């Protein structure tokens, strides 16, 4: 999703309409590559303003995450909008401090880079396959949505007095 800003920078046009639905394999967030299970849709525009090039787009796509309780795959729809100025590396930070600013190189902006930079606030903190996911058994690792394990029964057994300790108790009694 590399967009040439040449025509905007040369003032040949005031506005560039963007409307994509593109297949993207993975998107990187916090050093993890998330698979996309939908096309990446992006719609909006880049306009020439008196302050510079302004990006205003809506994005949506679906990523494959893991349920934070049972570790099963879970599809997470992501939908948000991005607004901010497209600036060169040597831009004056002070004059953009009230805005988001995205750096581009030469005359091209890579929208995937911008999406990856803006994912932080739009990713779920913990994905769940369902609100009432039972998760994994802490002892045997069984997925409790799919099977019942007998760990709970064992736990109860352990609470009963070990026969060896029972004998010790008897010894103390004799003293």
Binding site for Zn ion (CB under 5 A): 67, 69-70, 129, 133, 137, 139-140, 142, 149, 151
Measured from the CB atom, is 67 or 87 closer to Zn ion?
67
68 contacts 133 by C-beta, under 8 angstroms: no
**Which two three-digit tokens encode residue 84?**
């901010």
The least CB distance from residue 24 to Zn ion, in Å, is 26
Q: Which C-beta is closer to Zn ion: that of 105 or that of 139? A: 139
Q: Smaller CB distance to Zn ion: residue 48 or 127?
A: 127
Instruction: Classify burial at 112, counting beta carbons within 10 Å of its beta carbon; exposed 0-12, middle 13-18, buried 19 or more.
Output: middle
Residues 84/99, Cβ–Cβ less than 8 Å: yes
Distance in Å, CB of 154 to Zn ion, minimum: 8
Q: In the bound complex, what is the minimum distance in angstroms from residue 76's beta carbon to Zn ion?
A: 12
CB of 15 to Zn ion, least distance (A): 45
Tokens 């994905």 — which residue? 127
* Contacts (Cβ under 8 Å, ≥6 apart) of 63: 27, 34, 35, 36, 37, 75, 76, 78
- Taking the complex as a whole, how short is the minimal distance between the CB of residue 122 and Zn ion, in angstroms? 21
| Nearest Cα residue to 102 out of 114, 92, 112, 91 | 114
Choose between 10 and 138: whose C-beta lies nearer to Zn ion.
138
Tell me the C-alpha distance between 82 and 43, whole Å.
10
Nearer to Zn ion, 126 or 171 (CB): 126
Q: Specify whether the CB–CB gap between 89 and 103 falls below 8 A.
A: yes
């Amino acid at each position: 999703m590399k967009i040439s800003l040449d025509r905007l920078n040369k003032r040949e046009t005031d506005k560039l309409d963007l409307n994509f639905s593109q297949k993207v394999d993975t998107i990187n967030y916090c050093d993890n590559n998330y698979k996309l299970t939908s096309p990446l849709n992006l719609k909006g525009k880049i306009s020439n303003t008196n302050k510079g090039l302004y990006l205003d787009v809506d994005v949506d796509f679906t990523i494959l995450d893991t349920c934070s309780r049972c570790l099963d795959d879970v599809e997470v729809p992501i939908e948000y909008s991005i607004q901010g100025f497209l600036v060169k590396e040597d831009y004056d930070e002070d004059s953009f401090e009230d805005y988001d600013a995205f750096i581009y190189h030469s005359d091209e902006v890579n929208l995937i880079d911008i999406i990856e930079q803006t994912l932080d606030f739009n990713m779920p903190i913990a994905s769940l396959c369902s609100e009432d996911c039972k998760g994994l058994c802490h002892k045997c690792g069984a997925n409790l949505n799919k099977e019942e394990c007998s760990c709970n029964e064992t736990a109860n057994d352990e609470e009963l007095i070990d026969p060896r300790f029972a004998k010790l108790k008897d010894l103390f009694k004799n003293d």
